[in-house]
């Protein structure tokens, strides 16, 4: 009996692998959604079999739901990632998480119905439903953790295992399925009182399943695909960021602090951070310079060429300013056509030289690429000479900007100029 059960499990694993790999291979023709639906539709069956359906093998008692279906699903998620990328694979990971929680939530509502018997002896078993619900919640959480862990581990060991794709697949599957077996058995033991030898048998079966799926994968690569096309070289840190949607969080955070048109920091960031930057430099006895940069005759440019042309000029000026920044510089758009550049560790002489370089770069670029010449006027102040608060520095730089415009525009006015 044990031998026949083992052969049947091998047949199940082979059928599962062949069908799922066929769908993965044909994804460009039939769409990736077919593969994802097939991947997710069996989760209830996996949980049901793992809770009540057990068979005897030569090395112990196991459940086909846990051994064949769950192990296969997790390894298929890894293969989907290898063949596509983290952006694609996170869709079924989160879809399974949300979908299974939705099932549990709906069942919790359904169990409150007053039911009637239509067929004699056929009544809903709410005790079993409750038991299944708990196992599905725990199994879903484990699957979510497993799916992210197996992908990150796959990339992490890439530097050690190198081009041995089958070995990477085997190590990742064995490690994560060991963790999963321990986690799921604890819940199963709590819910149904499963004995500890079930854990040992289940773990052994999952290790064998990993070997079988790895062997099938290697055979697939040998006869149906090119192994080199499956090799990846992605940063495991970047992969983790994508899988956990942290890259979306960082993008949203970045968008919230930057001007949507020019990409420079918002005025709110200037108000919030500039005083802290100044205080830090004063405390460390380091110079700090502030440049107020204003586009000359910007309203006339808008009137002659339209606001779209004006927007292009703003973006061009912002890009040229940003391209010439040091690591200790902070660029803000504080008004329509006015920018503030805060330069840490830069003396008034160095800041004046930088301002002249920026002014000339903008003028030179506009002559070549814009319908008419665009120039900027720049007022400069430096701490601690011109003040030890942002209000004092900005006021002094703004006065010098006014002086630069008064003297004909397209010029820098700074303490060095005054002297």
- pLDDT recorded at residue 14: 94
Pick 225 or 239 by higher pLDDT: 225
CA atoms of 313 and 339, how far apart (whole Å): 13
2-28 residue pLDDT tens: 788 888 989 999 999 999 999 999 998
Prior bond of 339 cis (ω within 30°):
no
CA atoms of 178 and 159, how far apart (whole Å): 22
42-99 residue pLDDT tens: 877 887 787 778 888 877 778 888 889 989 999 999 999 888 887 788 888 888 888 8
Arithmetic mean of pLDDT, 336-364: 93
* 129-138, 198-207, 365-374: least confidently modelled range: 129-138
Pick 206 or 133 by higher pLDDT: 206
**Average model confidence (pLDDT) across the chain:** 85
Q: Confidence band (pLDDT; 50, 70, 90) for 276?
A: very high
124-144 residue pLDDT tens: 776 766 666 677 778 788 888
Pick 292 or 149 by higher pLDDT: 292
* 63-67, 112-116, 143-147, 397-401: least confidently modelled range: 112-116
- pLDDT recorded at residue 419: 44
Q: Confidence band (pLDDT; 50, 70, 90) for 254?
A: low
Q: Is the pLDDT of residue 102 over 90?
A: no
């Amino acid at each position: 009996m044990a031998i026949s059960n083992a052969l049947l499990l091998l047949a199940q694993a082979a059928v599962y692998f062949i069908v799922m790999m066929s769908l993965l291979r044909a994804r460009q023709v039939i769409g990736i959604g077919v593969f994802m639906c097939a991947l997710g539709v069996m989760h209830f069956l996996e949980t049901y079999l793992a809770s009540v359906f057990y068979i005897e093998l030569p090395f112990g008692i196991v459940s086909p739901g846990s051994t064949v279906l769950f192990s296969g699903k997790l390894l298929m998620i890894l293969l989907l990632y290898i063949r596509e990328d983290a952006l694609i694979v996170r869709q079924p990971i989160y879809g399974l998480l949300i979908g299974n929680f939705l099932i549990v939530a709906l069942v919790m509502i359904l169990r409150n119905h007053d039911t009637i018997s239509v067929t004699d002896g056929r009544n809903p078993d709410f005790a079993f439903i409750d038991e299944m619900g708990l196992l599905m919640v725990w199994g879903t959480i484990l699957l979510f953790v497993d799916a992210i862990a197996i992908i990150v581990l796959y990339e992490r060991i890439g530097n050690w295992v190198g081009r041995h794709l089958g070995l990477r697949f085997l190590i990742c599957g064995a490690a994560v399925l060991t963790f999963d077996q321990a986690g799921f058995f604890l819940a199963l033991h709590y819910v149904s009182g499963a004995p500890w030898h079930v854990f040992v048998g289940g773990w052994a079966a999952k290790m064998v399943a990993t070997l079988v799926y790895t062997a099938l994968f290697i055979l697939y690569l040998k006869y149906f695909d090119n192994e080199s096309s499956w090799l990846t070289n992605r940063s495991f840190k970047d992969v983790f960021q994508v899988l956990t949607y942290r890259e979306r969080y960082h993008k949203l955070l970045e968008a919230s602090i930057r001007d949507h048109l020019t990409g420079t920091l918002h005025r709110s960031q200037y108000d919030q951070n500039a005083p802290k930057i100044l205080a830090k430099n004063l405390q460390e006895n380091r110079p700090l310079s502030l440049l107020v940069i204003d586009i000359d005759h910007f309203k006339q440019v808008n009137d002659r060429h339209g606001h779209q042309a004006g927007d292009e000029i703003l973006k061009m000026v912002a890009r040229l300013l940003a391209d010439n920044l040091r690591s200790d510089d902070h660029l803000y758009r504080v008004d329509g056509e006015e920018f503030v550049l805060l330069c840490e560790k830069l003396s008034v002489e160095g800041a004046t030289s930088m301002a002249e370089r920026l002014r000339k770069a903008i003028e030179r670029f506009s002559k070549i690429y814009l319908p008419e010449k665009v120039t900027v006027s720049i007022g400069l102040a430096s701490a601690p000479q011109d003040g030890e608060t942002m209000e004092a520095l900005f006021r002094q730089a703004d006065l010098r900007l006014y002086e630069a415009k008064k003297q004909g525009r397209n010029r820098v006015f700074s303490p060095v100029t005054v002297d």
